[in-house]
């Protein structure tokens, strides 16, 4: 039977609670971990993709105990990943690799363990970094396999402890079950993304719902489900917005510790759309401003910042207080200037031009320059956005914001 590497990590986009930075963990898995594992001669099984719910079931315990190798990526401190790493350390003395994004801190004492680090841009990993990490991780896997050096803190400090042995027959049965679950979930996610690219949000909703049922309370699936729900044009817009709000509220956007820009951005977008349906209800616009501002303030996120500025401009046109009008306009201008500064810093990265969110960066720059009356830069970045746009709904979203800005002039 082929050697098994069990990968412990989150999936989709997750936000680091201390950095306030969002990482696409799927990029880590597909661009670094899986290629290195396969190159080392192991079968690769990813933990969070094979769970039927948010609970750790017997299959997971079996893999944690029996797998020839476990790789635990603790980037963003996924609670299940941390817990599963502890189980592995308690079950097996060697063949466990811990890895994380280089900027993240470790909030508890596993610093004595060797940790494999990598650089992540948030939305993507550069081709150079992916290549470096694949080679380095492959070499580390082969080294760990050969040396069988004790890496578990438990077995390092209490050498009389004996590892638990799981019968091979039971383990083989678990592997067969998990292989099917992984394929099903991966297929659902890919299918959902395909439907979104074709503007078929009704079908995408079905896929995200099924994925959410398989992995309960996963923020990425909930965010995508909420996004597709409010973009679905096959139901009344007000009903779609109400449904989307119910979905995104599962992630507690009002929570004091909520710093995920995707959650805050989607919540802001829902309230902004509510206001566009009924402009007499200024509370909707104020709430949109609140969520967009929170996302921008905490994360310096260009998307929430751009929408924060636009909502301030919209508010300035619908209020009577002259002092507040001036404040909204000045704050909107300052925000756009800051967004341009933020993106200028991003451009300094040698891998800027291969970022997966480059289309949205160009869209934000185009709208910022349009608002700031810089026609030349606006035309430049609008052209770049249209060249990079991946789906019709992305162009539609951009054009709506652009038209709102033009209406304010």
Both 211 and 244 in one domain: the answer is: yes
Flag whether pLDDT at 218 surpasses 70.
yes
Dihedral class, residue 95 (left if φ above 0, else alpha if ψ from -120 to 50, else beta): left
Q: What pLDDT does 181 receive?
A: 60
In a domain, 191, yes or no: yes
Both 121 and 208 in one domain: the answer is: no
Confidence of residue 56 (pLDDT cuts 50, 70, 90): low
Element (H, E) at 310: helix 302-316
Question: How many separate domains does the chain show?
Answer: 2
Both 127 and 253 in one domain: the answer is: no
For the segment 101-155, what is each residue's pLDDT rounded down to a tens digit?
Answer: 988 776 665 545 678 999 998 877 888 888 999 999 999 999 999 998 888 888 8
Both 346 and 311 in one domain: the answer is: yes
d(CA 188, CA 181): 11
Both 201 and 97 in one domain: the answer is: no
For the segment 385-403, what is each residue's pLDDT rounded down to a tens digit?
Answer: 999 998 889 999 999 999 9
Q: What pLDDT does 53 receive?
A: 42
Contact 50, 182 (CB under 8 A): yes
Q: How many C-beta atoms surround the C-beta of residue 356 within 10 A?
A: 14
Task: State the angle between helix axes of 322-347 and 302-316 in degrees (0 to 180), rounded to the nearest 10.
Answer: 160
Q: Output Rg (C-alpha) for the chain, integer angstroms.
A: 23
Mean pLDDT computed over 221-234: 96
Range of the domain at 236: 182-408
Q: What pLDDT does 107 receive?
A: 60
In a domain, 175, yes or no: no
Final residue of a domain: which of 135, 166, 197? 166
Both 216 and 323 in one domain: the answer is: yes
Mean pLDDT computed over 51-63: 61
Q: Say whether 294 sits in a helix, a strand or coil.
A: helix
User: HSE on the CB side for 391, CA within 13 Å?
Assistant: 14
* CATH code for the domain in which residue 58 is found: 3.40.50.10350
In a domain, 172, yes or no: no
Element (H, E) at 386: helix 375-388
Mean pLDDT computed over 351-361: 85
Residue found under tokens 């001669």: 41
Contact 12, 48 (CB under 8 A): no
Both 139 and 271 in one domain: the answer is: no
Contact 316, 342 (CB under 8 A): no
d(CA 292, CA 250): 18
Confidence of residue 159 (pLDDT cuts 50, 70, 90): confident
What is the side-by-side order of every strand in the sheet holding 43-46? 43-46, 4-8, 69-73, 96-101, 115-118
d(CA 406, CA 344): 25
Final residue of a domain: which of 166, 192, 211? 166
Q: What pLDDT does 139 receive?
A: 94
Confidence of residue 12 (pLDDT cuts 50, 70, 90): confident
Phi and psi, residue 19, nearest 5° = -85, -25
In a domain, 305, yes or no: yes
Final residue of a domain: which of 139, 166, 193? 166
Phi and psi, residue 41, nearest 5° = 90, 20
Both 228 and 265 in one domain: the answer is: yes
Contact 332, 108 (CB under 8 A): no
Both 34 and 157 in one domain: the answer is: yes
In a domain, 66, yes or no: yes
Both 190 and 42 in one domain: the answer is: no
Mean pLDDT computed over 186-195: 80
Burial of 203 (0-12, 13-18, 19+ CB in 10 A): middle
Question: Nearest-5° angle of CA 132, CA 137, CA 138?
Answer: 100
In a domain, 171, yes or no: no
In a domain, 173, yes or no: no
Burial of 376 (0-12, 13-18, 19+ CB in 10 A): exposed
d(CA 407, CA 283): 21
Flag whether pLDDT at 35 surpasses 90.
yes
Question: pTM of the prediction?
Answer: 0.70
Both 32 and 141 in one domain: the answer is: yes
Give the DSSP per-residue string, 117-142.
EE---SS---HHHHHHHHHHHHHHHH
Mean pLDDT is lowest, of 105-114, 306-315, 351-360, for: 105-114
Contact 317, 332 (CB under 8 A): no
In a domain, 174, yes or no: no
Both 156 and 105 in one domain: the answer is: yes
Q: What pLDDT does 161 receive?
A: 82
DSSP H helix total and E strand total for the chain? 17, 7
* CATH code for the domain in which residue 306 is found: 1.25.40.10
Residues shown for the chain: 409
For the segment 238-272, what is each residue's pLDDT rounded down to a tens digit?
Answer: 999 999 999 999 999 998 878 888 999 999 999 99
């Amino acid at each position: 039977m082929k050697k098994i590497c069990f990968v412990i990590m989150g999936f989709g986009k997750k936000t680091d609670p201390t950095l306030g930075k969002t990482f696409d963990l799927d990029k880590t898995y597909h661009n670094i971990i899986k290629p290195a594992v396969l190159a080392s001669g192991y079968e690769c099984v990813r933990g969070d993709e094979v769970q039927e719910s948010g609970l750790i079931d017997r299959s997971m315990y079996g893999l944690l105990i029996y797998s020839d190798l476990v790789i635990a990526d603790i980037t963003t401190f996924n609670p299940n990943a941390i817990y599963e790493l502890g189980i592995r350390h308690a079950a097996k003395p060697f063949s466990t690799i811990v890895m994380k994004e280089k900027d993240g801190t470790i909030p508890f004492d596993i610093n004595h363990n060797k940790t494999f680090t990598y650089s992540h841009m948030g939305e993507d990993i550069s081709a150079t970094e992916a290549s470096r990490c694949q080679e380095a991780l492959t070499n580390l896997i082969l080294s760990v396999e050969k040396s069988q050096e004790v890496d578990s803190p438990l077995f390092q400090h209490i050498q009389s402890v004996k590892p638990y042995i799981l019968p091979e027959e039971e383990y083989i049965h678990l592997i067969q079950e998990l292989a099917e679950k992984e394929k099903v979930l991966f297929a659902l996610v890919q299918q959902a993304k395909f439907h979104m690219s074709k503007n078929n949000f009704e079908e995408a909703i079905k896929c995200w719902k099924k994925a959410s049922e398989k992995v309960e309370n996963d923020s990425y699936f909930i965010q995508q489900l909420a996004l597709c729900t409010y973009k679905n044009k096959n139901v009344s817009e007000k009903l779609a917005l109400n449904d989307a709000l119910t979905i995104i509220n599962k992630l507690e956007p009002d929570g004091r510790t909520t710093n995920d820009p995707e959650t805050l951005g989607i919540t802001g977008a829902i309230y902004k759309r509510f206001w566009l349906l009924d402009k007499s209800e200024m509370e909707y616009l104020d709430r949109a401003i609140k969520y967009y501002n929170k996302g921008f303030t905490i994360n310096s996120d260009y998307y929430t910042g751009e929408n924060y500025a636009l909502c301030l401009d919209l508010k300035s046109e619908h209020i009577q207080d002259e002092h507040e009008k001036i404040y909204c306009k000045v704050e909107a201008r300052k925000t756009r200037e800051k967004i341009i500064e933020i993106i200028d810093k991003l451009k300094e990265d040698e891998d800027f031009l291969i970022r997966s969110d480059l289309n949205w960066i160009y869209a934000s720059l185009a709208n910022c320059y349009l608002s700031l009356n810089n026609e030349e830069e606006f035309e430049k970045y609008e052209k770049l956005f249209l060249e990079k746009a991946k789906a019709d709904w992305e162009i539609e979203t951009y054009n709506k914001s652009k038209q709102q800005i033009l209406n304010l002039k």
